[in-house]
Structure 1
Amino acid sequence: MTAPKLTLYNAHYCPYAARAVLALAETNQEHDVVEIDLSVPRPDWLVPKDPLQLAQSRYLIHHWGARTQPALFKATITLDPTESAKARQEVFTELEKVDVLLRNVVRTAEDKEGPFFLGAKFTFADLALASFLTRLYLVSAYQQEGVEQEFDQALKDNKNLQRFREWREAISQRPTVQKASAPREVVVKNYRKFLPKTN
């Protein structure tokens, strides 16, 4: 199977873009180049135009990285059953905060109803967090039998996570996200290195 041809969005005087140009040259990768003029506003691909929505998107990403992801990681690597149950409860507390952010996002008059962060349009906030949402199974991947089903059921039953579930489902089902997601068995195998060493 032939790899798809790459497209490089380049600004020829940018030293950071030059890294990608050099890497493509060194590896003889066939590619197309789209020159970007950095003196004018960039094309509107995934970033909201509205300043408030842009701030909300950045805050959601920051909040996930600062609060939600540490709780998820702690629950993933905590193997003691009692401590693990406490860690999973912390996960639900943090996910409920994310649900509040999702419900309270300010939409513009142009936004259409939809399941993504800002409505019908998949934006950079959704893109930035997609790989974390599709790996929620890690919370119970190394726990005793039955924990995964218990966690999944609690996720479905929690009335404070309705918007979160809708968002996660829409992102997880998006074809590009599915295509970009590593298989579960590969992720679970590679995350084992983070587990505490046992005697």
Structure 2
Amino acid sequence: MTIPKLVLYNSNLCPYAARAVLALAETNTDHEVVPIDLSVPRPEWYLKDINPYGQVPALKVDDKDIILESLFVAEYIADLNPESGLLPKDALQRAQTRYLIHHWGARTQPAHHKATFITDATEAATNRKALIVELEKVNQLLINAHRVEGDGAGPFFLGDKFTFADLAIAPFLARFFLLGQYNDNKDVTKEEFPQLERFFQWKEAVLARSSVQKATPPQETLTNNYRKWVQ
């Protein structure tokens, strides 16, 4: 398959845009990058010609077609490179991949947000307990992931190989440390919560991935950038 000309509109601080960055890195796909500064109003040309909502990432294909929303951009890149194995071929694994990503976005990430970006100590502690409940559910989803022959028993969602579910959630795992940066909460550790063993195995493996490390800004930069969200 001939890879089209790709231009990625990106902000290094955006976890959603990082999904596209990771897909491009994992597939070693040639592309150009146009940086978009999210701290200022988007330029008129971006709103008119690229994304009327002003969000990143956006992907321009062959100087004409535009793909919006991080998961669709990343999935398109993975589809261009089926040999990468990012998207599982097994139908059940694809369904479970979609659900894990959905569950994280709909339940786990909001719980993390509520426990992180708040200064009230009592409410922060209550929200941290709610986050643990959600992480226990993620832990079970990881345990229950369907494996096919050749997957192995590795630490990623589907075994030995880093796949789309890992890629899609990696930027948020890389920001998990923000818990406790703005209030009296502390990070969630495997010593304190041994029942989350599978979650920690997965998280550590994902964060050790070279592509994830390269796509993640320094922790100090992230801490300062997200301070604006603190209530």
Give the number of the structure with larger relative contact order, counting CA–CA contacts within 8 Å between residues 6 or more apart.
Answer: 2
Bigger share in helix: 1
**Structural mapping, 1:6-155, within 5 Å:** 7-8=30-31, 19-22=60-63, 43-45=82-84, 46-144=86-184, 147-148=185-186, 151-153=187-189, 155=190
Please give the alpha-carbon distance, in whole angstroms, between the structure 2 residues aligned to 1:170 and 1:18: 28
Residue identity matched to 2:63: L
Gaps of 5+ in 1: 10-16, 24-35
Please give the alpha-carbon distance, in whole angstroms, between the structure 2 residues aligned to 1:170 and 1:84: 28
* Identical aligned residues as a percent: 48
Q: CA deviation at 1:76?
A: 1.1
Is residue 199 of structure 2 the alignment partner of residue 160 of structure 1? no
Is residue 221 of structure 2 the alignment partner of residue 186 of structure 1? yes
Aligned residues: 167
Query: What is the root-mean-square deviation in Å for CA atoms of aligned residues?
Result: 2.8
Q: Which moved more, 1:97-106 or 1:129-138?
A: 129-138
TM-score by length of 1: 0.76
Residue 175 of structure 2 aligns to a residue whose secondary structure is: coil
**Which string of whole-angstrom CA distances, capped at 9 and with x for unpartnered residues, describes residues 21-67 of structure 1?**
439xxxxxxxxxxxx9xxx9962420000000000001000000000
- For 1:169, the equivalent position in structure 2 comes to 204
Residue 118 of structure 1 aligns to a residue whose secondary structure is: coil
Describe the shift of the 1:68–1:152 C-alpha distance in structure 2 as closer, same or farther (beyond 3 A).
Answer: closer
